[in-house]
Amino acid sequence: MTGLLKRRETSLFIITVIVIAAVALRARDFLAPGNFEDILKDSSILLIVSIGQLLVILTGGIDLSVASVIGFTGMSVALLDRAVPTVPLLVILLLALLIGLALGSFNGMLVALFNIPPIITTLGTLSIYRGFVIVLSGGTWVSADQMSAPFRDFPQGYLLGISNMISIAILVSLIFAAFFYLTRTGREVYGVGGSPLAAQYVGINVKRINFLVFALSGTLSGLAGYLWVAFYASAANDSATGLELQTVAACVIGGVNIMGGSGTIVGVLLGSIFLGIVKNALTMIRISPFWQVAIQGFVILLAIVVNTALDRRAQASMLKRRVL
Partner 1 sequence: MAGGSIRRSSASASAPDSPAAAPRPPRGARLRARATQWELILVYLLVVVFVGNSFLSPYFLDAPNLLDSTFNFMEKAIMALPMMMVIIGGDIDISVASNLALASVFMGMASTAGAPTPILILIGLVSGSIMGAFNGFLITRFAIPSIAVTIGTLSLYRGIASVILGDKAYTSYPKSFAYLGQGYLPGTHIPFELLLFVLLAALAGFVLHRTVFGRRVYALGNNPTTARFSGVRVDRLRLIAFTLNGLAAGVASVLLTARVGSTRPNIATGWELDVITTVVLGGVAITGGKGSIWGVILAVFLLGFVQFGMALVNIPGQVMNIVTGFILIIAIMVPELIKRGRNRASLARLSARTETAARS
Report in angstroms the alpha-carbon separations of 146 from 56, 141, 151, 241: 36, 10, 10, 22
Residues 4-33 that bind partner 1 (CB under 8 A): none
CB of 67 to partner 1, least distance (A): 12
Least distance from C-beta 110 to partner 1, angstroms? 6
b/e code 64-98 from CB counts within 10 Å (16+ = b) = bbbbbbbbbbbbbbbbbbeeeeebebeebbebbbe
Residue from 28, 90, 114, 319 that binds partner 1 (CB under 8 A)?
114
> x/- binding map, residues 242-281, to partner 1, per CB under 8 A?
---x--xx--x-----xx----------------------
| 86 near partner 1, rule: CB under 8 A | no
Count of residues binding partner 1 (CB under 8 A)? 46
Q: By CB under 8 A, what part of segment 186-215 binds partner 1?
A: none
Binding partner 1 by CB under 8 A: which of 96, 110, 230, 270? 110
Any contact of residue 301 with partner 1 (CB under 8 A)?
Answer: yes
Residues in 59-78 that interact with partner 1 by CB under 8 A: 62
The phi and psi torsions of 250 (rounded to 5 degrees) equal -55, -40
Give the binding range for partner 1 (CB under 8 A) out of 25-33, 76-84, 224-232, 290-298: 290-298
CA distance 211 to 112: 6
Q: Does 292 bind partner 1 (CB under 8 A)?
A: yes
Site string for partner 1, 222-241 (x = CB under 8 A): ---------------x----
Query: Are the C-beta atoms of 225 and 209 separated by less than 8 Å?
Result: no
Angle at Cα 65 formed by Cα 144 and Cα 163, nearest 5°?
45
**Between 97 and 281, whose beta carbon lies closer to partner 1?**
281
Are the C-beta atoms of residues 294 and 47 closer than 8 Å to each other?
A: no
Q: Give the interface with partner 1 as residue ranges (CB under 8 A).
A: 62, 110, 114-117, 119-121, 123-128, 130-135, 139, 237, 245, 248-249, 252, 258-259, 288, 290-298, 300-301, 304-305, 308-309, 312
